[in-house]
């Protein structure tokens, strides 16, 4: 019996020791696994921080060397908005509409912003915002409103310059830089008063540059050099600033394509820089004039016209007595129908260069002439006529 009891005690003791050993091993294993997991997480975090540090170092090196760099991201555009909102104004007034029996008046609403490019703070807006406006006023973000005087206007660039007798502390000019700094894909911000909703910010990207569009106000001429943007533009936005990601003016929001989805246009800031002195001192700006009506050549039209080149501006008509006519440029001599069913005049000159700059479309031609020349200047057009490339000098006129 003594041996039996002793044996049982030994078995119980062995079992207890075994349970303790298993517990200690399990605790060690769990602790080891947890430590390894934490170490792995720390290693991953360190690798991520090292990657971000490397990216920042590359950006700093690029900035120091004067190169291009890309801003990774920002949590909010609010600091930019707060820094510029006081410079953006609401422009409103009335436009007369003549009916059969009486004259009625409708309200016009737009946007504008303060600049100082001539030594005095002035308001920039679109021509179409103030065209024909009576009882017009400029309202600042604090609610104070003042009447204005139109110093100069240009319907061919959709620009107007206003003078307002407001206190100096309200006239906070924005920085204006060349729109030539823009690239397709750059982030841009528009601030204006769509539908009267004051100080509304929207953002998008530059979709394309140097577009030429025709509007009701520009008549038979194209407004050239326009910036195409994905930023939503609505009634009331017109005349507000288009800003880059540093809050600098690169354009003036101007127009939308009817029925489009998020396709807008802005007048380039280069037009402001180029024109403002003339607009302030003379009230107008004189645009160069070539005097051709052109068609953008494509593959189907080239086939129909029997041409072996598929780009350029195919001259449809030449304005009688204009610069192009005086230089001997020729318009189309016959009409053909291309495969799309469109009617095109062929047989005329094909413009492929202006001052050694490639001309692929009418956008290229008008944007170059309007942005780089003045009336009275002579340009050299490279044309294709009868399969032969010629250089024709043309002395530009002025739009009337």
In angstroms, the CA 238 to CA 145 distance is 19
Residue with tokens 């490019």: 117
- Do domains 74-285 and 288-398 share one topology? The answer is no
Task: Compute the half-sphere exposure of residue 257: CA atoms within 13 Å on the CB side of its CA.
Answer: 15
CATH H-level superfamily of 288-398: PDZ domain (2.30.42.10)
pLDDT beneath 50: ranges in the chain:
1-6, 9-37, 39-42, 44-73
How far is the C-alpha of 245 from the C-alpha of 265, rounded, in Å? 18
The active-site residue out of 158, 244, 255, 363 is 158
- The CATH code of the domain at 74-285 is 2.40.10.120
Q: What are the backbone dihedrals phi and psi of residue 82, each rounded to the nearest 5 degrees, phi first?
A: -65, -30
CA atoms of 140 and 165, how far apart (whole Å)? 12
How far is 203 from 229, CA to CA, in rounded Å? Answer: 9
Annotation marks residue 128 as catalytic: yes
Tokens of 384: 């294709």
pLDDT attached to residue 98: 79
Q: Which of 128, 270, 345, 370 is catalytic?
A: 128
CA atoms within 13 A on the CB side of 15: 6
Bridge partners of 159?
154
Q: Is the dihedral of CA 317, 320, 324, 325 positive or negative?
A: positive
- Give me the helices (H) in 65-114, please: 78-84
Give the pair of three-digit tokens for residue 261. 């989805």
pLDDT for res 195:
67
- Residue 256 is predicted with a pLDDT of 59
**Cα 62-67-73 angle, rounded to 5 deg:** 65
Q: Tell me what pLDDT residue 147 has.
A: 95
Q: Is 244 an annotated catalytic residue?
A: no
Q: Do 221 and 241 contact (CB within 8 A), yes or no? A: no
- Sorted by where each begins, the domain ranges of the chain are 1-38, 74-285, 288-398
Catalytic-role residue among 238, 269, 345, 367:
238
- Would residue 5 show up in a list of annotated catalytic residues for this protein? no
Which string of DSSP letters, residue by residue, matches 185-247? T-EEEEEE-GGG-TTEEEEEEEEEEEEEE--STTTTS-EEEEEEE-S---TT-TTPEEE-TTS
């Amino acid at each position: 019996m003594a041996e039996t009891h002793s044996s049982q005690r030994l078995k119980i003791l062995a079992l207890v020791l075994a349970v303790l050993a298993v517990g200690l091993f399990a605790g060690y294993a769990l602790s080891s696994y947890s430590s390894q997991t934490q170490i792995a997480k720390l290693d991953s975090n360190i690798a991520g921080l090292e990657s971000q540090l490397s990216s920042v170092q590359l950006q700093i090196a690029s900035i120091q060397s004067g190169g291009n760099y890309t801003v990774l991201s920002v949590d909010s555009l609010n600091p930019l908005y707060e820094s510029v909102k006081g410079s953006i104004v609401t422009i409103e007034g009335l436009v007369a509409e003549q009916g059969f029996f009486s004259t009625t008046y409708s309200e016009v609403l737009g946007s504008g912003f303060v600049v100082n490019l001539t030594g005095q703070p002035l308001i920039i807006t679109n021509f179409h915002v103030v065209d024909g406006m009576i009882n017009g006023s400029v309202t600042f973000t604090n609610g104070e409103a003042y009447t204005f005087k139109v110093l100069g206007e240009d319907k061919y660039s959709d620009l107007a310059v206003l003078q307002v007798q407001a206190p100096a502390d309200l006239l906070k000019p924005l920085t204006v830089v060349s729109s030539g700094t823009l690239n397709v894909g750059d982030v841009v911000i528009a601030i204006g008063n769509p539908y009267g909703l004051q100080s509304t910010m929207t953002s998008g990207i530059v979709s394309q540059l140097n577009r030429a569009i025709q509007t009701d106000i520009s008549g038979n001429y194209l407004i050239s050099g326009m910036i195409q943007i994905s930023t939503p533009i609505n009634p009331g936005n017109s005349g507000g600033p288009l800003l880059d990601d540093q809050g600098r003016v690169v354009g003036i929001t101007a127009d939308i394509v009817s029925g489009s989805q998020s396709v807008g246009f802005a007048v380039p800031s280069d037009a402001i820089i180029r024109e403002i002195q003339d607009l302030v001192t003379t009230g107008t700006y004189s645009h160069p004039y070539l005097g051709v009506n052109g068609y953008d050549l494509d593959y189907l039209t080239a086939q129909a016209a029997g041409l072996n080149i598929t780009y350029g501006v195919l001259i449809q008509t030449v304005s009688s007595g204009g610069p192009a006519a005086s230089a001997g440029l020729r318009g189309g001599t016959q009409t053909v129908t291309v495969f799309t069913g469109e009617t095109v005049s062929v047989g005329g000159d094909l413009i492929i260069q202006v001052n050694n700059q490639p001309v692929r479309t009418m956008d290229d031609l008008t944007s170059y002439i309007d942005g780089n020349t003045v009336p009275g200047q002579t340009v050299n057009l490279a044309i294709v006529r009868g399969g032969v490339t010629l250089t024709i000098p043309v002395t530009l006129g002025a739009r009337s």
